[in-house]
A = this chain, B = another copy of it.
């Protein structure tokens, strides 16, 4: 079983922009994505998911480093000013590299 390195991009942001984010990811070359419900706290205060407008989501994308960089660049320009958002990279290994 041969394992190949890919980048896992994780984005934590407001549930309100889920649809916009997914569209962006697809446009920028991600082949897939996973979304989970989240809550939390940070610079924009507590977002404890107890109301629709303070619900967070965590979006995960496994892709090539270059794609991940393109995405994070786009997020920084489009959303960082107006929305609660955190995103980061980590390194993962996958079995079917062509898939990502």
| A73 (CB) vs chain B CBs: closest residue | B1
A94 in the interface, Cβ–Cβ < 8 Å?
Answer: yes
Q: Which of B73, B88, B99 is within 8 Å of A94, CB to CB?
A: B88
8 Å CB contacts to B: which residues of A34-85?
34-43, 56, 58, 62, 69, 72-73, 76
Chain A 1-38 near chain B by CB (<8 Å), digits 1 or 0: 10100101010100000000010000000011111111
Q: Given A72-B1, A93-B89: A35 and B43 within 8 A (CB)?
A: no
User: A89-B92, A99-B86 known; A33 and B37 CB under 8 Å?
Assistant: no
**Chain B CB within 10 Å, residue with most, of A3, A35, A72:** A35
Give chain B residues whose Cβ lies under 8 Å from the Cβ of A90. Answer: 8, 90-93
Closest 10 CB pairs of A and B: A32-B42, A34-B40, A89-B93, A88-B92, A90-B92, A88-B94, A36-B38, A35-B39, A34-B38, A12-B34
